[in-house]
Chain A
Amino acid sequence: MGQPSVDTIWDWLDQVPDPEIPVISLVDLGIIRDVKWEGDTLKVAVTPTYSGCPATSVINFDIETALRDRGIEKLTLTQQLSPPWTTDWLSEKGRAKLEEYGIAPPSPKGEPDRCPNCGGHNLERTSQFGSTPCKALWRCRDCLEPFDYFKCI
């Protein structure tokens, strides 16, 4: 087997789900910063979402498993801190999938644009933090449903 192209590797990584929000991929999340071949070694640079995100080690494990399963033998994963991760790097596909799943995607104004359940705009924040470091808790006053909001950073 010849060396798979970098584009192929990106496609493979786009099939690896985020361990905590499995509807989006690691590529959608914007945490894969670089993929390149150095000789016969594949180098993948990953940036953490939040410093203490417990998913970080699971993510590295999932990347390694996905690539090894497809025959990549020499692999180096590096942690890239700078520039720090921002929700601007979420893909359009990822944002749409989040909303479909019931999580309001990040918005530059610092609050959700609309309720992911009914589309209502009458919203209130119930907590600045949520079930994972990247989310906050909100509630829709129209349909009365609570929902997660993906924090904009």
Chain B
Amino acid sequence: MADNALFQFLLRMGDNSLILGHRVSEWCGHSPVLEEDIALANTALDLIGQTQFWLGLAGEVEGKGRSADDLAFLRDAWDYRNVLLCELPNGDFGQTLMRQFLYDAWASVMMGRLMTSSDERVAAIAAKASKEVAYHVERSGDTVVGLGDGTEESHARMQAALDYLWPYVGEMFDSDEVDAAMVKAGIAPDPASLREEYDALVGKVLGQATLTIPTDTFHHKGGRTGYMHTEHLGHLLCTMQWLQRAYPGATW
């Protein structure tokens, strides 16, 4: 049971970075300017690199011989454990960067806590990822401020992005029995305990961006538990997993 909870926890970490990384990679060759194209591609690369560590460890903990690639390419939507925020469509550039900031802020707090995990493999991945995440949140935060406190047009788009994405933020702080088992083993913090630090960071940046956080506290859920993903995930997997679906077992 303890190992199964750890497996689930690792899938949640790895699926978040995999699905968001894939989404961000969709921008490759389509960004508004070359520098942003490079930045988005590099961010996606970091996220997919972190995925290799999380899903690699997940496969090891599961003990059925599944590799990171097996987990990424041979599972269907209902077996994914990422939060819904990560699978939402890119929208415009502003929406993509707003989604990135809302995720990066969570990841920066989470990696900081996981660096003191009782499981040294988890602590090592978090220490590695935290350096990259710190760089990501600096960039996505700066861009959110630049566009939010920019022109009338960019401000309106960023506010619309925040209004659309905010109801997906709460899921990152939900807790269930998997989280309880992780807390008990000293492996990971209770997600709810990250909220205060997250709100302080996000509140400060969104304030500088002259954006207003919606007051409605309703939030969507179902991604991290696998209860129900949005329709978008299946479409994403159709593209990401195309080769393995068309040619099962194909190797490089």
Contact = CB atoms under 8 A, between A and B. Distances in A.
Interface in B151-175: none
Given A52-B46, A52-B50, A128-B138, A82 B120 contact: yes
A106 to B, nearest CB: 13
Interface string A128-153: 11110100010000000000000101
A128 B39 contact: yes
B226 interface: no
A133 B35 contact: no
15 contacts: A48-B128, A51-B129, A52-B45, A52-B52, A81-B53, A81-B125, A81-B127, A81-B128, A84-B127, A128-B39, A128-B135, A129-B139, A131-B38, A133-B45, A137-B38
A39 interface: no
Interface residues of A, number: 21
Contacts of B132: 50-51
Interface string A16-33: 000000000000000000
- Nearest first, the 4 closest Cβ-Cβ pairs linking A and B are A52-B49, A51-B49, A127-B35, A82-B124
B135 A151 contact: yes
Contacts of A81: 53, 124-125, 127-128
Interface in A38-57: 48, 50-54
B39 A84 contact: no
A127 B39 contact: yes
Given A51-B50, A52-B49, A52-B50, A84 B131 contact: yes
A65 interface: no
The bracket for how many chain B residues form the interface is 20 to 34
Given A48-B49, A82-B127, A127-B35, 6 more contacts: A50-B45, A52-B50, A53-B45, A81-B124, A83-B127, A127-B39
A112 B53 CA distance: 31
A126 interface: yes
A127 to B, nearest CB: 4
B48 interface: yes
B110 interface: no
B120 A51 contact: no
Contacts of B131: 84, 153
A131 to B, nearest CB: 7
A50 B35 contact: no
Interface string B93-129: 0000000000000000000000000001001110111
A121 B51 CA distance: 39
A135 B34 CA distance: 15
Contacts of B120: 82
A51 B39 contact: no
Contact of A130 (B38, B138, B139): B38
Interface in B19-39: 35-36, 38-39
B52 A51 contact: yes
Interface in B47-88: 47-50, 52-53
A56 to B, nearest CB: 8
Contacts of A128: 39, 135, 138-139
A82 B123 contact: yes
B230 interface: no
A131 B39 CA distance: 9
B42 interface: yes
A85 B127 CA distance: 10
Contacts of A48: 49, 128
B35 A126 contact: yes
Contact of B45 (A54, A82, A151): A54
A82 B57 CA distance: 15
Scoring A53, A81, A126, A129 by chain B CB atoms within 10 A of each residue's CB, the highest score goes to A129
Nearest to B41: A129
